[in-house]
């Protein structure tokens, strides 16, 4: 563990508890990464100030025509003098980057080996650490059964223990109710930033309504669709009574090659439709399997997709 | 295609059980899953898109049904008539002995054997060839190797049961002798195995197929029957009958004794039968019981008149042929003895004092001159004693030679030995009964060349001193020394030996046993000269003519004698003798049991009886397996036709289905 984390944790014994979530070795690999938002211009000196007050930046961005009601202070009088028309100067706004990491903690996430929740924990911890290391404002949330539990915002590496404690405290419980959780999130967190949703999206009510809550914000939404390797390519055999881990619903199946083929097609179309839905609405989508080592996911996949740089 | 074990097809009833089990079976394993959301959609998709899914899903069921069906069909032993290999050669060996008349298979075993043989013939094709042989007391080739099925069929149809014993070894010897031309042939033995097959030491190198005829062995039979006359009281007669039970249950039967008295006037020579006695006998399973009927004794004072005795076992069993036995009962008489001697006081005195002997003494010259061989041949004397005299020829009869060599083939004089010593004697032979030879001191004895089948009664240090030889028609005792040249006549053993000789050779004890023969044996007897024909009446009433053979010199049983060089005297005698020699009747068609009546001319009649009396034939239990060529051959009850069985293919198919089922079950790879 890095020196900062160690000091923040207040001792190696405490820090050692979270080694399985975030190891020293991995921290050294992600130390220099940072999270990137395409929608939000990150101030060069972001996080240098601790004040909440935000001024407007001096960096010119564009002009637009004046309409009644605009702040007269931003009129370009020079242009008015030359062209006899009123133009308003637009400046890029400088803001701190908010990073929201939402982890699905429903019972379905307990499936797989390693379980999807464990995997999601590690990914969330890594991303949060990247954010903290870059003085971004990191909000960590876990949703299960329609509830949303949040921690943060936190900023700075010394806060990493809070993040890890929160992640370690997650237990799979409740059903997946994306819509309720996302609605709650959207109502309370409207600041622009990067929203990373780590979930299996196995919501019987569908994900479409839920994802709509992100559309109205200026947030850069990143969907990490996490499925267990056993879900993508099941190794089940025999005559089975499949029991839903969330709602105890059962389905009787006799595993056969055609059924497995159909299942795989179904999974594929499920992922594709989620991807298409997200893509058409400006949401980023990445399908992740627990079969992929999570450091590969963070260091390679997410990098290529432009979430981290 | 047919099934050899069609009852196994009943197992097909298990098919619905498998289907039922399949419906009952699905005890599905519970498997927690993250969400049934995707699975449910997949299942619905599959149902919508694959109409044969139900069938596919039940593939294991279909495979299991197929597996069971194949296994059941294999158990039912499907078979088809074999595609005949052309050019096969068979020897069809049919047992026609008495036990084949058993009726445990209807109508009887021989008929069943004939049916199977006909089926074998019907199965012949192309260049198949068959030889038809029967065997009972002797083997007979009925049809040599041929492909003429009509001839074979006719020969099989003409087969009749013969009430004889079985000599399988002779049949095997014949097959072995034919072996060269029968190389590669198969021997089909249609028999109940009622013979001593295990004693076969060498069997031909041919494959044997033993078709076992017969099912059970329930039989009660007469295995011994004899009439005995008391030595001292000629009027006393005992009829001894042995009844043996070969079945597995105790038998209770009635034994009846009938007398058919002689009636010279009647057509068959016999009067109406009289029931003399009847007894109830209880024979435990596998055991035997002896019954004695006494006559002329204080308890049963009347002796039966001369005639034929018939013993009947009134009992229903599978073999009827051994339930009757016949005996010839002669009138009691003394042993008519002719002594040809130059004078022997001891011999004549001993015979004179024997109550059973009626002796007549003639000198050697007188014998050669006056006693015709016809008289000997016709049995005017029961016993002829030649004391130091050798006759020119010897018709069948009973003879005692003292210090002389019988003029029979096989006997010759080789020289003399001085003071021979008695080494041993046969103490159980009836002729040696109560005789002790330990004090027999001889001055000299002849060295004799004797037939191989002669029985030595007294063994000397240089050769036999006293011997007994018998062959059909002949019973001869030869003493190779002159008793007068020894001290024997002075000892008590001499008259005792003579008394034994009178009783044994004179046929006193057997009371007609000489006239009883075994089935298939040859009956030989002499007839007066001039008899041109003899009529035989069979037990079933048929009659036939038997030719009479006349020979110039009879020096052996039925063999014309080549007069040896050294016996020119004998040839002169033949040339000189103008008297007509007696004729000989040889009759071998004795394959049925019962009385045979020989009619010689107008009034002379003679009865012979043929009795089975053979435990091996009465034991009709079919033998399950035979020893053959260092192995055993199991009898099959049927299957003359050859079936080619297909069950191994069905088993293979079932195995393949089983493997497929296993593979599919484990890999879940459906179609």
Alpha helices in A134-250 (DSSP H): 160-168, 178-188, 208-212, 229-232
Q: Is the pLDDT of residue A121 over 60?
A: yes
Which percentage of chain B shows pLDDT scores above 70? Answer: 83
Alpha carbons B629 and B633: distance in angstroms, whole number? 9
Model pTM?
0.50
Longest dimension (CA), chain B: 138
β-strands B324-329, B307-314 pairing:
antiparallel
Nearest partner of A232 among A195, A196, A203, A269, judged by Cα: A269
β-strands B516-517, B474-479 pairing:
unpaired
Which percentage of chain B shows pLDDT scores above 90? Answer: 13
* Confidence category of residue B638, pLDDT binned at 50, 70, 90: low
Whole-number pLDDT of residue B476: 92
Whole-number pLDDT of residue B378: 64
Q: What is the dihedral of CA A274, A276, A281, A287, to 10 degrees?
A: 50
Q: What is the mean pLDDT of chain A?
A: 78
Give pLDDT tens digits for A216-273.
Answer: 777 788 888 888 888 888 887 777 788 888 888 887 777 777 778 888 888 899 999 9
Count of other CB atoms within 10 angstroms of residue B666: 10
Q: Is the pLDDT of residue A276 over 80?
A: yes
Give pLDDT tens digits for B254-273.
Answer: 999 988 888 776 767 778 88
Q: CA-nearest residue of chain A to B31? A: A242
Q: Is the pLDDT of residue B641 over 70?
A: no
Distance to chain A for B11, nearest Cα, Å = 28
Give the CA distances from residue B609 to residues A250, B319, B326, B327, in Å, rounded to whole numbers and listed in that order.
98, 20, 6, 6
Record: contact A231-B669, CB cut-off 8 A = no
Calculate the CA B442 to chain-centre distance. 45
Whole-number pLDDT of residue B201: 64
Alpha carbons A210 and A183: distance in angstroms, whole number? 7
Which of A110-114, B46-50, B187-191, B579-583 has the lowest average pLDDT?
B579-583
Give the CA distances from residue B212 to residues B4, B219, B634, in Å, rounded to whole numbers and listed in that order.
18, 18, 9
Q: Is the pLDDT of residue B655 over 90?
A: yes
Give pLDDT tens digits for B71-94.
Answer: 998 888 887 765 455 567 888 899
Whole-number pLDDT of residue A33: 74
Give pLDDT tens digits for B33-55.
Answer: 888 888 888 887 777 665 555 55
For residue A103, what are the contacts with CB-CB under 8 A and spacing of at least 6? Answer: A117, A120, A121, A124, A140, A141, A142, A143, A167, A170, A198, A199
Whole-number pLDDT of residue A9: 44
Which residues on chain A are in Cβ contact (under 8 Å) with B663? Answer: none
Distance to chain B for A239, nearest Cα, Å = 5
Question: Which A residues, 46 through 105, put their C-beta within 8 Å of a C-beta on chain B?
Answer: none
Record: contact B668-A111, CB cut-off 8 A = no
- Tokens 């003394």, residue located: B334
Record: contact A244-B41, CB cut-off 8 A = no
The answer to whether residues B136 and B97 touch, using CB atoms and an 8 Å cutoff, is yes
Strand partners, B420: none
Determine the residue among A239, A242, A255 to mutate to test chain B binding: the one whose Cβ has the most chain B Cβ atoms within 10 Å: A242
Determine the residue among A243, A253, A260 to mutate to test chain B binding: the one whose Cβ has the most chain B Cβ atoms within 10 Å: A253
Kindly provide the b/e burial profile for residues B420-445, where b requires at least 16 CB atoms within 10 angstroms of the residue's own CB.
Answer: bebeebbeebebbeebebeebebeeb
Helix (H, G, I), strand (E, B) or coil at A221: strand
Which of A158-167, A205-214, B292-301, B304-313 has the lowest average pLDDT?
B292-301
Record: contact B35-A265, CB cut-off 8 A = no
Torsional sign, CA B74, B77, B83, B89: positive
Whole-number pLDDT of residue B402: 92
Give pLDDT tens digits for A141-188.
Answer: 888 887 888 887 888 878 888 888 888 888 888 888 888 888 888 888
| Interface contact A272, partner B, CB < 8 A | no
Whole-number pLDDT of residue B339: 92
Give pLDDT tens digits for B549-562.
Answer: 776 544 444 333 33
Question: Which residues of chain B approach chain A closer than 8 Å at the C-beta?
Answer: 26, 28-43, 45-46, 49-50, 53, 56-57, 666, 668-671
Distance to chain B for A142, nearest Cα, Å = 18
Alpha carbons B474 and B268: distance in angstroms, whole number? 29
Strand partners, B314: B254
- Tokens 């839905």, residue located: A277
Which of A290-304, B243-257, B352-366, B588-602 has the lowest average pLDDT?
A290-304
Whole-number pLDDT of residue B510: 56
* Confidence category of residue B580, pLDDT binned at 50, 70, 90: very low
- Give whichever of A101-110, B597-606, B643-652 has the largest mean pLDDT: A101-110
Q: Who has greater pLDDT, B212 or A191? A: B212
Q: CA-nearest residue of chain A to B58? A: A254
Q: What is the mean pLDDT of chain B?
A: 80
Give pLDDT tens digits for B401-455.
Answer: 999 999 888 898 888 889 898 989 988 888 888 888 888 888 889 888 889 889 9
Distance to chain B for A241, nearest Cα, Å = 5
Whole-number pLDDT of residue B579: 45
Which of A111-125, B427-441, B617-631 has the lowest average pLDDT?
B617-631
Which residues on chain B are in Cβ contact (under 8 Å) with A200? Answer: 34-35
- Tokens 């029968």, residue located: B182
Whole-number pLDDT of residue B563: 36
* Confidence category of residue B356, pLDDT binned at 50, 70, 90: confident
Which of A118-127, A193-202, B22-31, B382-391 has the lowest average pLDDT?
B22-31
Whole-number pLDDT of residue B152: 92
The answer to whether residues B289 and B281 touch, using CB atoms and an 8 Å cutoff, is yes
* Confidence category of residue B667, pLDDT binned at 50, 70, 90: low
Alpha carbons A149 and B353: distance in angstroms, whole number? 148
Record: contact A259-B43, CB cut-off 8 A = yes
Whole-number pLDDT of residue A99: 84
Radius of gyration of chain B (CA): 37
Whole-number pLDDT of residue B300: 65
Q: Is the pLDDT of residue A68 over 80?
A: yes
Radius of gyration of chain A (CA): 22
């Amino acid at each position: 563990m890095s020196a900062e984390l160690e000091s923040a944790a207040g001792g190696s014994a405490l820090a050692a508890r979270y080694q399985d979530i975030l190891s020293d070795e991995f921290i050294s690999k992600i130390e220099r990464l940072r999270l990137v938002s395409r929608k939000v211009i990150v101030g060069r000196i972001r996080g240098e100030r601790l004040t909440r007050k935000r001024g407007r930046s001096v960096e010119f961005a564009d002009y637009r025509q004046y309409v009644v009601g605009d702040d007269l202070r931003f009129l370009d009088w020079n242009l008015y003098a030359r062209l006899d028309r009123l133009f308003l100067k637009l400046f890029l706004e400088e803001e701190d980057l908010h990073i929201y990491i939402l982890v699905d903690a429903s019972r379905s996430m307990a499936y797989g080996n390693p379980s999807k929740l464990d995997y999601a924990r590690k990914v969330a911890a890594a991303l949060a650490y990247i954010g903290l290391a870059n003085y971004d404002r990191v909000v960590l949330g876990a949703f299960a059964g329609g509830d949303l539990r949040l921690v943060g915002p936190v900023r700075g590496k010394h806060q990493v223990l809070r993040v890890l404690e929160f992640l370690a405290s997650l237990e799979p419980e409740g059903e997946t109710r994306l819509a309720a959780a996302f609605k709650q999130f959207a109502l309370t967190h409207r600041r622009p930033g990067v929203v990373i949703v780590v979930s299996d999206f196995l919501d019987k009510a569908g994900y479409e309504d839920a994802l709509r809550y992100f559309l109205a914000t200026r947030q850069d939404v990143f969907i990490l669709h996490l499925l267990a390797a056993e879900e993508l390519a099941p190794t089940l055999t025999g005559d089975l009574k499949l029991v839903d881990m969330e709602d105890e619903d059962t389905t009787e199946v006799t595993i056969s090659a055609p059924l497995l083929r159909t299942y795989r097609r179904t999974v594929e179309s499920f992922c594709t439709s989620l991807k298409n839905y997200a893509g058409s609405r400006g949401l980023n989508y990445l399908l992740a399997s627990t079969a992929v080592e999570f450091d590969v996911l963070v260091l390679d996949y997410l990098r290529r997709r432009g979430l981290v740089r | 295609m047919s099934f050899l074990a069609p009852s196994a097809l009943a197992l097909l009833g298990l098919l619905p059980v498998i289907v039922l089990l399949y419906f009952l079976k699905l005890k599905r394993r519970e498997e927690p899953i993250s969400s049934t959301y995707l699975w449910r959609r997949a299942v619905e998709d599959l149902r919508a898109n694959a109409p044969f899914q139900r069938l596919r899903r039940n593939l294991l069921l279909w495979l299991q049904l197929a597996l069971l069906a194949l296994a059941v069909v294999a158990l039912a032993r499907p078979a088809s008539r074999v595609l005949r290999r052309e050019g096969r050669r068979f020897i069809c060996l049919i047992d026609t002995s008495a036990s084949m008349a058993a009726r445990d298979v209807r109508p009887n075993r021989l008929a069943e054997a004939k049916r199977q043989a006909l089926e074998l013939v019907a199965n012949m094709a192309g260049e198949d060839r068959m030889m038809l042989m029967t065997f009972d007391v002797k083997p007979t080739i009925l049809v040599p190797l041929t492909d003429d099925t009509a001839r074979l069929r006719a020969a099989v149809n003409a087969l009749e049961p013969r009430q004889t014993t079985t000599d399988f070894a002779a049949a095997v010897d014949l097959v072995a002798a034919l072996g060269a031309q029968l190389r590669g042939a198969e021997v089909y033995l249609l028999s109940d195995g009622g013979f001593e097959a295990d004693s076969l030491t060498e069997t031909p190198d041919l494959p044997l197929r033993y078709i076992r005829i017969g099912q059970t062995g329930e039989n009660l039979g007469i295995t011994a029957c004899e009439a005995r006359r008391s030595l001292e009281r000629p009027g006393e007669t005992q009829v001894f009958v042995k009844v043996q039970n070969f079945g597995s249950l105790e038998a209770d039967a009635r034994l009846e004794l009938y007398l058919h008295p002689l009636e010279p006037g009647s057509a068959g020579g016999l009067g109406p039968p009289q029931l003399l006695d009847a007894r109830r006998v209880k024979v435990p399973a596998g055991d035997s019981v002896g019954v004695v009927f006494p006559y002329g004794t204080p308890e049963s004072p009347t002796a039966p008149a001369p005639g034929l005795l018939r013993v009947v076992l009134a009992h229903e069993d599978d073999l009827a042929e051994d339930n009757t036995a016949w005996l010839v009962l002669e009138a009691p008489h003394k042993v008519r003895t002719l002594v040809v001697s130059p004078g022997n006081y001891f011999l004549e005195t001993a015979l004179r004092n024997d109550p059973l002997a009626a002796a007549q003494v003639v000198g050697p010259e007188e014998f050669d001159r006056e006693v015709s061989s016809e008289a000997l041949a016709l049995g005017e004397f029961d016993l002829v004693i030649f004391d130091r005299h050798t006759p020119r020829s010897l018709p069948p009869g009973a003879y005692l030679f003292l210090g002389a060599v019988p003029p029979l083939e096989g006997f010759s004089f080789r020289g003399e030995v001085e003071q021979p010593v008695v080494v041993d004697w046969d103490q159980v032979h009836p002729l040696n009964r109560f005789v002790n030879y330990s004090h027999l001191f001889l001055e000299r004895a002849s060295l004799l060349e004797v037939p191989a089948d002669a029985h030595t009664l007294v063994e000397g240090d240089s050769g036999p001193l006293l011997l007994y030889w018998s062959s059909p028609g002949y019973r001869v005792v030869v003493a190779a020394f002159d008793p007068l040249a020894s001290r024997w006549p002075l000892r008590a053993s001499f008259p005792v030996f003579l008394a034994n000789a009178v009783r044994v050779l004179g046929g006193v004890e057997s009371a007609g046993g000489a006239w009883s023969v075994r089935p298939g044996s040859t009956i030989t007897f002499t007839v007066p000269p001039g008899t041109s024909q003899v009529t035989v009446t069979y037990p079933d009433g048929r009659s036939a003519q038997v030719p009479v053979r006349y020979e110039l010199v009879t020096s052996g049983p039925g063999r014309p004698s080549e007069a040896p060089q050294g016996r020119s005297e004998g040839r002169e005698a033949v040339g000189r003798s103008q008297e007509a020699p007696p004729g000989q009747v040889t009759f071998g068609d004795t394959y049925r049991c019962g009385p045979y009546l020989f009619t010689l001319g107008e009034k002379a009649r003679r009865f012979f009886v043929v009795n089975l009396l053979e435990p091996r034939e009465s034991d009709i239990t079919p033998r399950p397996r035979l020893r053959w060529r260092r192995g055993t051959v199991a009898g099959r009850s049927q299957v003359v036709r050859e079936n080619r069985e297909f069950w191994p293919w069905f088993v293979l198919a079932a195995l393949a289905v089983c493997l497929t089922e296993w593979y599919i079950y484990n890999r879940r790879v459906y179609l």
